[in-house]
């Protein structure tokens, strides 16, 4: 029996990488899925693929930092599917740059997507979840919430912010007794298109590519990068009743990166 039959899930940044794998996994478990992304064309392609495989799916072109768009998006979802049960606040960017060189505009844009976007996802999902009777909010943080990474200070700060935001919000919802659970996921190095074009936060610099698989081999105790599908399994778990007693908690999927130091590989 599918774990999410009758549920409606909304995935931000759903057109690529972890978001796309999550949307597909949620659909496989019977949820109706809203694929929302800044890249509306790719969101549409994925929604059509999911619908072609028999799922209920719709695409939305959305910038998670735009508050007006949020009100319209949730309204459109309730009109189409009648309810909202699951919010995967996944959209994010990783901007690279030394603090002394990063422009304030680049810092603010990253924080707006990674942190303001998470706030708005929750702000607009919760009233709909209360109307539905319960809900699960899944916030895509990172191991960057637990450990610093040189030249990724803004990313680390935004992901740590999203992490503790999830805990504070979980307590808020539990206190109200609205049956809305809030948890965060902390992937390590995952092989997705995110690494193909890392934007640089200093004015005039071209994006850089980082080889996620090489980094996985060198820096991850398990000796490899993770896959988006592995993260999607955690999303399904947190979305479903299998995690019914979990709120304000975190799931770490990092091949051992945050477990401690490893002897250097030869």
Ligand X SMILES: NC(=O)c1ccc[n+]([C@@H]2O[C@H](COP(=O)([O-])OP(=O)(O)OC[C@H]3O[C@@H](n4cnc5c(N)ncnc54)[C@H](O)[C@@H]3O)[C@@H](O)[C@H]2O)c1
> Which are the catalytic amino acids?
155
* Least distance in angstroms from the C-beta of 212 to ligand X: 6
Q: How far apart are CA 83 and CA 79, in angstroms?
A: 8
Nearer Cβ to ligand X (63/78): 63
CA distance linking residue 204 with residue 192, whole number of Å? 25
Tokens of 115: 């942190």
- In this complex, which beta carbon is closest to ligand X, that of residue 47 or of residue 64? 64
Measured CA to CA, the distance from residue 218 to residue 209 in angstroms comes to: 16
Measured from the CB atom, is 19 or 135 closer to ligand X?
Answer: 19
- Min dist. Cβ of residue 177 to ligand X (A): 30
What b/e string do you get for 177-197 counting C-beta neighbours within 10 Å, with b at 16 or more? ebbbbbbbbbbbbbbbebbee
Q: Report the C-alpha gap between 145 and 155 in whole angstroms.
A: 9
Least spacing, CB of residue 19 vs ligand X, in Å: 5
Sequence-separated (6 or more) residues with CB below 8 Å from residue 39? 15, 16, 61
For the chain, give the longest Cα–Cα distance.
58
State the nearest-atom distance from the C-beta of 6 to ligand X, in Å: 27
What lies within 8 Å, CB to CB, of 250 at 6+ separation is 141, 163, 166, 183, 184, 185, 186
- Please identify which residue in the block is written with the tokens 């996944």: 90
Residues that bind ligand X (CB under 6 A): 12-13, 15-19, 37-39, 62-65, 90-94, 113, 140, 142, 187, 189-190, 192-194
Q: Please say which residue, 173 or 220, places its beta carbon nearer to ligand X.
A: 220
Torsions phi, psi of 31, nearest 5? -75, 150
Q: Least Å distance between CB 38 and ligand X?
A: 4
Nearer to ligand X, 142 or 183 (CB): 142
């Amino acid at each position: 029996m599918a774990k999410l039959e009758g549920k409606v899930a909304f995935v931000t940044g759903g057109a690529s990488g972890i978001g796309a794998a999550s949307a597909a996994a949620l659909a496989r478990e019977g949820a109706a899925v809203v694929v929302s992304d800044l890249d509306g064309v790719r969101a549409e392609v994925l929604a059509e693929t999911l619908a072609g495989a028999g799922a209920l799916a719709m695409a939305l072109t959305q910038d998670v930092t735009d508050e007006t768009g949020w009100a319209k998006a949730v309204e459109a979802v309730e009109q189409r599917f009648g309810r909202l049960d699951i919010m995967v606040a996944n959209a994010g960017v990783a901007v690279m740059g030394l603090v002394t060189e990063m422009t304030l505009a680049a810092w603010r844009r990253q924080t707006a997507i990674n942190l303001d976007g998470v706030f708005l996802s929750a702000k607009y999902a919760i009233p709909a979840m209360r109307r539905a009777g319960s809900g699960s909010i899944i916030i895509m943080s990172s191991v960057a919430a637990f450990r610093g990474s040189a030249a990724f200070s803004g990313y680390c700060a935004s992901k740590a912010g999203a992490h503790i935001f999830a805990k504070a919000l979980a307590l808020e919802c539990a206190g109200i007794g609205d049956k809305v659970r809030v948890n965060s996921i902390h992937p390590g190095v995952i092989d997705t298109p995110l690494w193909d074009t890392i934007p640089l936060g200093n004015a005039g610099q071209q994006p850089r590519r980082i080889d996620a698989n090489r980094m996985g081999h060198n820096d991850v105790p398990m000796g490899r990068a993770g896959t988006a599908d592995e993260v999607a399994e955690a999303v399904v778990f947190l979305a479903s009743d299998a995690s019914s007693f979990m709120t304000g908690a975190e799931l770490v999927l990092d091949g051992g990166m945050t477990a401690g130091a490893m002897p250097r590989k030869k």
